[in-house]
Amino acid sequence: MAAEIYHAVGKRKTSVARVWVKPGNGTIVINDKPIEVYMTKESGIGLIKQPLELTENVGKYDIIANVRGGGVLGQAGAIRHGISRALITISPDYRVVLKKADLLTRDPRMKERKKYGQAAARARYQYSKR
């Protein structure tokens, strides 16, 4: 009998993470690389492990994540969102803890688009009086 594998998708800014969680010894693999090799920032590793620490599941599950788009911390946020969603499919009891920590809410903040007639989203072209 094969072990139960739980799948979820997490998003943050332009990053999309597909996350698989299965019972194991706590290894985390992102895009076929160990977390220590893939995540260059310590804060990113902390973000990813946050849902596991809150639900007291550190070392109980192996996590495999495929993530695309965005920057380092955006990808970490997407993986965190995916892990949180997957943990709820494992046990609905985790929902209360994760919801209170605001880990289930998809962060809606995105980069604002550049408008025509302007240098950037809000910055105007420089005005010359003379």
What confidence tens digit (pLDDT) does each residue in 80-108 have? Answer: 999 999 999 999 999 999 999 999 999 99
Residue-level pLDDT at 18: 97
Q: Could you give the CA distance from residue 106 to residue 78 in angstroms, rounded to a whole number?
A: 9
Residue-level pLDDT at 63: 94
Residue-level pLDDT at 130: 86
Residues of the chain with pLDDT under 50: 1
* Domain positions in the chain: 6-100
User: Which residues have CB under 8 Å from 15's CB, separation 6+?
Assistant: 67, 68, 69, 70, 71, 74, 75, 77, 78
pTM of the model: 0.89
CATH of 6-100, one of 3.30.70.260, 3.50.7.10, 3.30.230.10, 3.30.530.20: 3.30.230.10
Q: Could you give the CA distance from residue 125 to residue 123 in angstroms, rounded to a whole number?
A: 7
